[in-house]
Structure 1
Amino acid sequence: MAIARDIVAETPNDLAAKARIQSAKLPDLLIEARHIANTLVSGFHGRRKRGTGDNFWQFRPYVEGEPVSRIDWRRSARDDHIYLRDREWAAAQTVWILPDQSASMHYQSRFSPIAKDSYAMLMALTLCDLFARSGERVAVPGLMAPTSSRNAAEEMALNFAALKEPYEYGHFLDINHHSHMIILSDFLDDPEEIRKKFASLTSANVTQHFVEICDPAEERFPYHGRVEFFDPETRQHYLAGRSETFHDAYLRLYQARRQSLTDFAKISGSSYHIAPTDKKMSTVILALAAMVGQASGYRRG
């Protein structure tokens, strides 16, 4: 639900216009995503695990019983120790990235420098660029097939720019088993409906990472006096004469919804992250990168 003063109802044409505006922002968001990715890349370790592959990772001391063929004799000749040459683990994972662009995501209060949909898209493009650089395959459900191209972020931006209406997540028929899915949304729907929507992914061994994009006004409810509230999803209006009287009840419901989804994430083996639009997204991005990079027990999907 959007929270703001003097909001007017938006028609489908209004939402289509916003979709076109968001598409026009994509080149700038892509540039900013590249800038963020370049800043974070030194702290992003990707898939650096020991295993079979072509890229050198490290030298380590030989342990009795290991294959002699893996000994690096040139390195071992430098001192009195025998060293093995380890290669970096080469199996790629598929990471599905889902930036919700539905009506409630258009919201931006005076406390935030960016709307929720733009923040979600910026984070999605940054994650796409980082994962593609590390050799993972990235995709968008229903929009972009898995790709390991170094230009994956540009491909994602082009796919979103070609949309005629806002992108909303729905069915996940194209999601392959044993992959990761990062969902960037405000999760303002009924928590029970959200749990039902993603339950099928849990049974398919898809590791889910929920990132709640929230405007600071949604977390604080900083309103006083006469305020009209409008829900862009249901198109309902409510005019509050003394909006401050709803402050405590609203915050209880807001936090209960968040706790319900956090509990669902824990039970299903997923992760849950909070990303306020007035804060830098680097902490959440690095946390997601670490979780995907350290994942094990999956197969190439």
Structure 2
Amino acid sequence: MPALLAKADELARTLMMGGHGRRRAGNGSEFWQYRPAQAGDPARSIDWRRSGQSDGFFVREQEWQAAQSVHFWCDQSASMQFSSLKDQVSKMDRAALLTLALSILLMNGGERVALDGMGRPPGNGAQQLRRIAQVLCDTQSDEFGVADGADYLPQSRAVLMSDFLGPMEAIERVVGAAADRGIFGVLFQILDPVEETFPFQGRTVFTSMGGGLSHETLRAGDLKARYLDRLAERKDELQNLARQAGWRYECHHTDTPVQVALVWLFQALDGGAN
């Protein structure tokens, strides 16, 4: 967990992003800043203690507390533990790093963050971040993961990270229910480059990461066209699902820079990615 936290913090710092949160003056209970009093400010808004320390009058402003709640689902199933090369990160490692780095950026902007499986509502602060990191260090034995979504707050935001290679019905239910509650979200598909190219030839035994599925063939190359068609079909299904829900969809490969993925996710939550 400490290594994951350190790596995520370093990744978040490289972007030096800000302004995503709602940190500006408004109705709230948290102190934000002092500003010089202006004509029209009511006398009750003047902070007399602060004003007594200078020659002018100052108004104590509270922070506008309209921070978004952002819910994450990071698929930790057996399928996500796949990596085609020893020196290449697994899909789950990439998803965990992006989840934690994006959480850091959002928290720095004043947002509240939660993770499926954490058993706690969206929150902010170092303790919440450690809870998220702790859950991200776990793995699951199920072949494919399924998001929950039952505790997502209405009008909040959601980021679902997975390879989305399992049954579509489960993800359709989660996204549909979330959209009905006014939740905007992102479907972020993470794939290993081998899963895009299918470079197999000759006799090959395909075994799922969980060991529950296996298929042997003497002519693996003959399966390539059908496999790529099925993968393209799955991507189309995800894109259509996101479009119907008013969400965004993106496919990321583990051999591409993680910074590019983080920028896209950050902008997508802020409404700036296409």
In the superposition, the TM-score normalised over structure 2's length comes to: 0.79
Alignment partners' CA distance in 1, 2:62 and 2:78: 47
Alignment of 1:8-157 (within 5 A): 26-40=1-15, 42-47=16-21, 52=26, 55=32, 68-69=40-41, 90-110=65-85, 113-145=88-120, 146-157=122-133
Structure 1 counterpart SS, 2:224: helix
Alignment partners' CA distance in 2, 1:147 and 1:195: 27
Alignment partners' CA distance in 2, 1:155 and 1:193: 26
Contact 2:155 2:183 in 1 (8 A): yes
| Counterpart residue number, 2:184 | 207
Structure 2 counterpart SS, 1:154: helix
CA distance 1:169–1:256, change in 2 (3 Å)? closer
Alignment partners' CA distance in 2, 1:98 and 1:165: 13
How far is 1:155 from its partner?
2.3
| Counterpart residue number, 2:148 | 171
| Counterpart residue number, 2:47 | none
| Counterpart residue number, 2:134 | 158
Contact 1:129 1:150 in 2 (8 A): no
* 1:183 maps onto 2:160 in alignment: yes
Structure 2 counterpart SS, 1:176: coil
Structure 1 counterpart SS, 2:148: coil
How far is 1:123 from its partner?
0.8
Long gaps (5+) in structure 1: 1-25, 57-66, 71-85, 296-301
Q: How many pairs does the alignment contain?
A: 247
Alignment partners' CA distance in 1, 2:267 and 2:213: 41
Alignment partners' CA distance in 1, 2:96 and 2:202: 34
| Counterpart residue number, 1:254 | 231
Long gaps (5+) in structure 2: 34-38, 43-60
Structure 2 counterpart SS, 1:43: coil
Q: Deviations over 1:170-202 (max 9, x none)?
A: 432221111111011000023344213321111
Structure 2 counterpart SS, 1:275: strand
Greater relative CO, 1 or 2 (CA 8 Å, sep 6+): 1
How far is 1:50 from its partner?
6.4
Alignment partners' CA distance in 2, 1:235 and 1:164: 17
Structure 2 counterpart SS, 1:264: helix
Amino acid at match of 1:139: A
What percentage of aligned pairs have identical amino acids?
27
* 1:280 maps onto 2:257 in alignment: yes
CA distance 1:242–1:100, change in 2 (3 Å)? same
Amino acid at match of 2:69: T
How far is 1:268 from its partner?
0.7
Contact 2:76 2:139 in 1 (8 A): no
How far is 1:231 from its partner?
2.6
| Counterpart residue number, 2:52 | none
How far is 1:285 from its partner?
1.9
Alignment partners' CA distance in 2, 1:267 and 1:112: 38
How far is 1:90 from its partner?
4.0
CA distance 1:144–1:281, change in 2 (3 Å)? farther
Alignment partners' CA distance in 2, 1:288 and 1:232: 27
Structure 2 counterpart SS, 1:109: coil
How far is 1:234 from its partner?
7.6
How far is 1:293 from its partner?
3.5
In the superposition, the TM-score normalised over structure 1's length comes to: 0.72
Amino acid at match of 1:52: G
Amino acid at match of 2:131: E
How well do the aligned residues superpose, as a CA RMSD in angstroms?
3.1
CA distance 1:266–1:250, change in 2 (3 Å)? same
How far is 1:128 from its partner?
1.2
